Chains A and B, each alone.
Chain A
Amino acid sequence: DAMVIQNPRYQVTQFGKPVTLSCSQTLNHNVMYWYQQKSSQAPKLLFHYYDKDFNNEADTPDNFQSRRPNTSFCFLDIRSPGLGDAAMYLCATSRQGADTQYFGPGTRLTVL
């Protein structure tokens, strides 16, 4: 089945130790999003790619970076995770001009 896949599902890192989360999609969508979702809160958009064009939200900390090497893959890099970065990280995709965003299952990040 076409889908959005996120790896790993659970990630534990130490304070300040860089971590990379990955997202892949078989939907051939040209827009990919990264969201941060903390407990009992709505997903918060960090940034998105429209094709190869990177779009950062104004309030996304510099600590968060992203790479999209090709249409299918997108990575979220957290350069120096703090305790406040512990959250669920969601990847989503959509077709250009389409209304539905398809979410992956998320990666639960724990920072010790």
Chain B
Amino acid sequence: QQQVKQSPQSLIVQKGGISIINCAYENTAFDYFPWYQQFPGKGPALLIAIRPDVSEKKEGRFTISFNKSAKQFSLHIMDSQPGDSATYFCAASINDYKLSFGAGTTVTVRA
């Protein structure tokens, strides 16, 4: 039973466009929501993360929006670049412990 549901499974965006990936969770005990980026043949790497006391966090072209009441959070990639082409996983954890991953979204940025 997947604790974090992620959509879409894949998306294609033009260079300079906006990529949006959505995640939803049920367990209200989750208190940490990271996004990991994974390139083919590599391990995942932390991209950006948020805690539920904040509704938005921005780091460069990457923004997390968090809606506690709806139990949803999303990743926005602004001005998408070909180098952003990767698989993105949302995740959630309790007390900074084990991560529950979403199923992943493969993003392809067309030049």
Contact = CB atoms under 8 A, between A and B. Distances in A.
B43 A104 contact: yes
A42 B103 contact: yes
Nearest to B46: A100
A105 B42 contact: yes
Contacts of A106: 41-43
A99 interface: yes
Given A99-B96, A100-B34, A101-B99, A42 B89 contact: yes
Contacts of A98: 96
A68 interface: no
A45 B101 CA distance: 9
B43 A103 contact: yes
Contact of B96 (A41, A97, A104): A97
**Which interface class (under 10, 10 to 19, 20 to 34, 35 or more) fits B?**
20 to 34
A70 interface: no
Interface residues of A, number: 22
Interface in B82-111: 89, 93, 95-96, 98-99, 101-104, 106
Interface of B: 32, 34, 36, 41-46, 49, 89, 93, 95-96, 98-99, 101-104, 106
Given A42-B89, A45-B98, A97-B95, 9 more contacts: A41-B103, A42-B103, A43-B89, A43-B101, A45-B99, A92-B43, A98-B96, A100-B46, A103-B36
22 contacts: A4-B43, A40-B104, A40-B106, A41-B103, A42-B103, A42-B104, A43-B89, A43-B101, A90-B43, A92-B43, A94-B96, A97-B96, A98-B96, A99-B32, A99-B49, A99-B96, A100-B49, A101-B99, A102-B46, A104-B43, A105-B41, A105-B42
Closest 3 pairs between A and B when the two form their complex, measured CB to CB: A103-B43, A42-B101, A99-B96
